[in-house]
Amino acid sequence: MPFEQLLQYIFSGITSGSIYAIVAIGFNIIYNTTGIINFAQGEFLMLGGMTAISLHSFMPLPLAILAAVIITSAVGALIDFIFIRRLKSPSVLNMVIVTIGLSIMIREIALHVWDEKVRSLPYFTGSEVTSINIMGAYISPQVLWVLGVSGVIVAFLGVFFRFTLTGRSMRACASNITAARLCGINTKNMVTISFMLSAAIGALAGCVISPITQTQYDCGTSLAIKGFTVAILGGLGNSTGAVIGGIIIGLLEAMSISIMPLAYKDAISIAILLIILFARPSGLLGKREAAGLKEF
Amino acid sequence: MSFKKILVVFVCLAFLAVAVSCKKKSGETIKIGAIFAVTGPASFLGAPEAKTAQMIIDEINSSGGVDGKSLELIIKDSTGSPEKAISFAKQLIEENKVFAIIGPSTSGETMKIKAICEDGKTILLSCAAAEDIVNPVAKYVFKTPQKDSYAAEKIFEVMKKKGITTIGVVASNDGFGLAGKKQLETIAPKFGITILIGEVYDKKATDLTGVLTKLKANNVQAVVNWSIVPAQSIVPKNMKQLNMNVPLFQSHGFGNIKYAREAGAAGEGIIFPCGRLLIVDTLPDNHPQKAVLAKYKKNYEGKYGEDVSTFGGHAYDAVMILVEAIKKAGADKEKVRDAIESLKGFAGTGGIFNFSVQDHNGLAIDSFDMLTVKGGKFVKYEDK
C-alpha cells in the first residue's frame, strides 16, 4: 500500500476515533462520582448540539456553544434534583435504570421541541470543502478541533479530579460513599456537580462533532454505544484511557475497511474489545485494584 | 366517595366518551389507514408524507368528500421499523377495518406487510421505491414512486455520455440501499460500466472517510451513493475532505433540498435522478404535470412553511389515485382495486401513471429527470 494511502486510512481512523473519544470522556465523570454509567450521556450530546444550532441563528458561534453548554449543564442539574436525589434507595442498579428512562424521555422531548430533521453547526474553521493536506493525505480541520477539545477536556479533568477539593471529594464518593459522608462530604451535592459537569462536557462534545456527524434528535444513542465501548476499553473513569481507546478503535476500524468489506467494521472493533477485556478486564489504563472496589 | 372510587368513575367516563365519539364517526366515512415513518431515521420521508396526506384529506373533506362520504385518515407512526409496520398493518386491517392503506414510507417496511395486505384483501398504495414491491405483482399492492431500476438506468446513461467506465458504489444497509445496489449491479454491464467496489454502510453512519479512501485508492471515475439516510450529506462532505474530485451520483432519495443544504458547498454538482416536483418552476406551461405540481407545491409550502419534497409527492399521488378510483367505482374495495388497475394517463407528482394488470407502478422511465445542485438549488442537469 503506498504511503499516502496508508496515511489516509490513518487519518480516517483518527476522524472516527476522535469522535468516539470525546463521547467516551463524558461517561467517566458520573462514573467517577457515583460508580454508575449514565445511559443518558448520548442525549446530553444531542441536547448540546441541538441547542447550539438553534441559538446560532441569533448569536455568533462561540457564544452559542457557550450558552448551549450552560443550558445543558442546567438540565443535568435539574435531572439530578428531580430524579436522582429523590431515589429512596440509590443503589447502582436503580440509578442506571433511571438514566435509561431519562435517555428515552429526553429523546422524545427533543423530538417535540425540535423536529425529526437533521441539522448541523457550521465548520469552526473553513467549510464543508476545506481539507488540510499533510504529506499527500487529507483531513478535515474539524477533526483537529475535536482532538484539540478532547485534549483540553482531559487536561482539565485531570487537574480537577487530582488537585481540587471538589474533585477529590467526588472521587471519594465513588470509592466509598459511607466513608465519604463520614468525612463530612455532602455526597448528594457531589452527585449534582458530577451531573452538571458531565452534561456540560457532553454538550461541548456534541457541538464540536456536530459539523462532522450532523445532529438529529435520536443521534445520541448510537454515539453513546460506541463511546461506552471505548470508555470500557480505555478503562472506565480514566479520561486519557478514553482518548487512547477511541483512537485505537478508530484506527482498527479504518484498517479493517482497507482489507475487508465495510460491513465487518463493527464486528472487528467489538471482537478486539473482547480480546482486550479478556486479557485486561479493567481496560487499557484502568487499575485492577481500583476496579475491584467498584460495585459496577 | 373515596379517591379510588372517583378515579374508577372517571376512567369509565373516559372510556364511554371514546366509545361514543368512535360511534359517531363511522357510517358516513371512508376510513383510510396510513403507515408512515413520521419519526426515526426515515422521518424525512414519513413526515412530509403524513403532512401531505393529512392536507389533501382535509381539502377533500372541506369540499364535500368523495362519493358523498367524507374521508377519515388514521395515521400510524412506524418510526421506520418493519416490526411496527407489521403490527400497525394488522391493526388497521383487523381492528380499524380500513378501506385502504397508504404507505409505508420505506421499502423494507412495505415488503414486510405486502403479504398481510394481500391476505387481508386491503389495497396498499406504497410510498416506497424498491422495485420488489410490485415485481412480482401482488393483486392488492401498488406503489407510486418511480422504480429504482429506472433511476439506475438514468444514472448510467449520464455516465456513458461522460465516458465513465469504472465506478464505486456505496449504499446504506437498509431495504432501499440494498435494493438499489442490487439494481446497479444488475444493470451496469448493459452500459459497459464496471463496479470496482460495492460497499454497504450502517444507516446511522456518521463518518465515511474510511470507505471513501478505499474507493479513492481504486481510482474510481465516479461514486454512486444509494441511500435515503442523512449519510447523503456526509458522503459529499467526506469526498471533498479527502480531495476526491470525481463526480458523485446519488439516488432519487436525494430529492429533499435539506440534504443539499446540509452538504453545503460540498453538495454542489451532485447528479441524481428525480421527479419533476423540485424543478416545477422551470417546466413549460403546457407540460401535463405542471398544474398538479404547482398546486401541490403552493398548498404544501403555504400550509407548513417548509420546502416541498418528492417524498410528500409520493403520498399525494397515492391518496389522489385512491380518491380518483373511489370516484369512478364507488366505495367498494374490489371495484376500487380494479379501477386503480385500469387507471390511465393520470397526472401525479411522480409522473403520468398508466396502470395495468402487469404494472402496479404505472410510471415509465421518462418520469425521471436528471437534476444537479447548483448554487444550493436543484436545477435540471445539462450535458456538457
Q: What is the CATH number of the domain that holds A50?
A: 1.10.3470
Is residue B249 in a domain? yes
Per-residue pLDDT of chain B (384 residues; tens, 9 = 90+): 566 666 666 665 565 555 545 444 445 789 999 999 998 778 888 999 999 999 999 999 998 888 888 999 999 999 888 999 999 999 999 999 999 999 899 888 999 999 999 999 999 999 998 888 898 899 999 999 998 889 999 999 999 999 999 999 999 988 889 989 999 999 999 999 999 999 999 888 888 988 999 999 899 999 999 998 888 999 999 999 888 999 999 999 898 888 888 898 899 999 999 989 988 888 888 899 999 999 999 999 999 988 898 899 999 999 999 999 999 998 888 999 999 999 999 999 999 999 999 999 999 998 999 999 998 889 999 876
CB contact under 8 A, A218 and B266: no
Q: How far, in Å, CA of A44 to CA of A49, rounded?
A: 9
> Do residue B141 and residue B153 come from a single domain?
no
Is B366 within 8 Å of B356 (Cβ atoms)? no
Is residue B11 in a domain? no
* Dihedral sign from CA coordinates of A159, A164, A170, A171: positive
CB contact under 8 A, B47 and A11: no
What distance in Å separates residue B177's CA from the closest CA in chain A? 13
> Do residue B262 and residue B304 come from a single domain?
no
- What is the average pLDDT across A226-238? 87
Residue A125 near chain B (CB below 8 Å): no
> Do residue B153 and residue B246 come from a single domain?
yes
Is residue B316 in a domain? yes
Question: In the prediction, which pLDDT does A294 show?
Answer: 59
Count of domains observed in chain B: 2
> Do residue B75 and residue B106 come from a single domain?
yes
Which residue type sits at A46? M
Residue A135 near chain B (CB below 8 Å): no
What are the pLDDT digits (tens) for A127-142? 888 888 888 888 889 9
CB contact under 8 A, A5 and B213: yes
Is residue B325 in a domain? yes
Q: What is the span of the domain harbouring residue A22?
A: 3-120+135-293
Residue B181 near chain A (CB below 8 Å): no
For A140, nearest residue in chain B (alpha carbons):
B241
- Please, how many CA atoms are within 13 Å of residue A46, restricted to the half-sphere of its CB? 29
Is A52 within 8 Å of A179 (Cβ atoms)? no
pTM: 0.83
Count of domains observed in chain A: 1
Q: Out of A13, A115, A118, whose CB is closest to B230?
A: A118
Is residue A186 in a domain? yes
CB contact under 8 A, B200 and A263: yes
Is residue A125 in a domain? no
Is residue A225 in a domain? yes
Q: How far, in Å, CA of A261 to CA of A281, rounded?
A: 29
- What is the average pLDDT across A197-222? 92
CB-CB neighbours of A202 under 10 Å: 36
Residue B201 near chain A (CB below 8 Å): yes
> Do residue B239 and residue B104 come from a single domain?
no
Q: Out of B216, B230, B264, whose CB is closest to A216?
A: B230
> Do residue B344 and residue B206 come from a single domain?
no
> Do residue B165 and residue B131 come from a single domain?
no
> If you count residue pairs, one on A and one on B, with CB atoms under 8 Å apart, how many are there?
119
Question: In the prediction, which pLDDT does A107 show?
Answer: 92
Contacts of A128 in chain B (CB under 8 A): 236-237, 240-241, 263-267
Three-state SS at A139: strand
Provide the percentage of residues in chain A whose pLDDT is more than 90. Answer: 36
Residue B241 near chain A (CB below 8 Å): yes
Q: How far, in Å, CA of A17 to CA of A50, rounded?
A: 22
Is residue B6 in a domain? no
Helices B107-119 and B175-187 pack at an angle, to 10 degrees, of 100
> Do residue B155 and residue B218 come from a single domain?
yes
CB contact under 8 A, A8 and B216: yes
Q: How far, in Å, CA of A119 to CA of B282, rounded?
A: 29
Burial of B283 (0-12, 13-18, 19+ CB in 10 A): middle
Site of grid cell 360511534: B23
What distance in Å separates residue B72's CA from the closest CA in chain A? 25
Q: What is the span of the domain harbouring residue B342?
A: 29-146+293-353
